[in-house]
Copies of this chain bind each other. A is one copy, B any other.
Amino acid sequence: MVHNITIQPAEFVRTLLKEDRRAELAELLDSMSSNDVVYLMSRLGKKEQYKLLTIINPDEAADVIEELPDVQAAEIIENLDAGNAAAIINRMKSDDRADLMSELDRKDAEAIFTEMHPEEAASIRKMIEYRPDTAGGLMLTEYISYPASLTVREAINDLRKNAEKYKNYHVRYLYVVSEKNHFVGVLQMQELLLAGSEQKLSEIVIKEVTAVNVDTPLDKLIDLFETHNFYGFPVVDDQGQLIGVIRRKNVLEAENERATYEHLQTQGIVGGDELRTMPVMVRSRRRLSWLSVNILLNLLAASVIAFYQDTLSSVIALAVFLPIISDMSGCTGNQAVAVSMRELSLGIIKPGEAFLVWFQEIKVGLINGLVLGILIGLAAFLWKKNIYLGLVVGGALAINTLVAVSIGGTVPLILKRMKIDPALASGPILTTITDMVGFFLALTFATIALGRLT
């Protein structure tokens, strides 16, 4: 059967669904790689997704949902009735669960919360409240902790008794806490085995482990894991009480995700992740929210041209070069934006060092402006056999290249200082300014040299 799946997974799953072959479905899903599950789900219709997730048991369904990117998982969960959704979400890992619930429409989320055990719902709500890129938003709440006063024998007994439950925990350490749940230290399983059974945990606990505060931001966490070769850190609240565990994996994945969203934002996908399986109206509205700002900025920039209609009608060839100046300055400026964003994320520049960046950009801008100006000036000259047209167009692009690298290099730093997301705003600010300046330069030069151009 297995070789069938690789050819037409969706078709094969449809057959199994139609014939209610529950066990085979569960086994098939379990054997599929996470990529294949993502692809399969994107190829099933809403009704098929519904049947698939309700015919298998909630544990199996939770495994499937955990494989999917949040935005896809949210789409599919919203499609279930609240009862089924709650049963599945109950079985998910604490961090995946909170991410998913915060991705859902508020109305859908509330309906699912009311179907849950109140305690469970409260714990998820609390997780959602932590900002996503902090220790609180990234931690797992499934971990094993024991009071320091417990004996080794008592701890081992508990481990044996709850072996089934603990099997699904992804944390390999035991956390030792005080009476009041303050973090004391960690233990590895094997240390229990090597210790005397009547020894207290307080006697064998390793205390040289620092806990991180729940509000620790992602950047700090990345740094922490870079400096320490640990698998995870305990997370404590402001009172020092142990509330979760953060693993290296969570931190690296969050870093990854942040970079992805930053990239999507620079490309104009701003309302959150987009998949093409989402409703057309949602996709359209989100994309338009960005495009409509841009069209206004474009109108603003192009209005500069309107002031020079007389010059333009005398030298119609300029109309050919205005879009080129606009586009090339955008390209040049975007390179500088990309380097600034990169240096910011590497920690090589700080938001206050705009002047230093500007100085370093000017040097490259001078060379590149000269080269680009000569190229486009030459093209203009060769086309119209008019050296002055070449000088006007080339001069405008050369100077505007300096403007573009200056704006592109510094705007991300300035926005960062103003706590505005540079990934989102740098591009539109850059192109609006460089368009305006570029049009102004080309048309002003042309107006000055008008006698020589016609």
Contact = CB atoms under 8 A, between A and B. Distances in A.
Interface of A: 33-36, 38-39, 42, 67, 69, 72, 170, 190, 193-194, 219, 223, 226-227, 229, 231, 248-249, 252-253, 255-256, 259-260, 262-264, 266-269, 273-277, 280-281, 283-284, 287-288, 290-292, 294-295, 298-299, 301-303, 305-306, 309, 312-313, 316-324, 326-328, 330-332, 334-335, 337-339, 342-343, 346-350, 357, 360-361, 363-364, 367-368, 371-372, 375-376, 379, 383, 431, 435, 439
A368 B326 contact: no
Contact of A342 (B255, B274, B280, B309): B274
Contact of A268 (B263, B281, B331): B331
Given A331-B294, A342-B273, A367-B284, A267 B264 contact: no
B226 A34 contact: yes
A39 B350 CA distance: 9
9 contacts: A33-B227, A248-B248, A262-B263, A269-B339, A283-B364, A284-B364, A291-B328, A299-B376, A309-B317
A454 to B, nearest CB: 12
Contacts of A253: 252
A391 B147 CA distance: 76
Contacts of A262: 263
B347 A323 contact: no
A209 B321 CA distance: 63
A310 to B, nearest CB: 9
A282 to B, nearest CB: 10
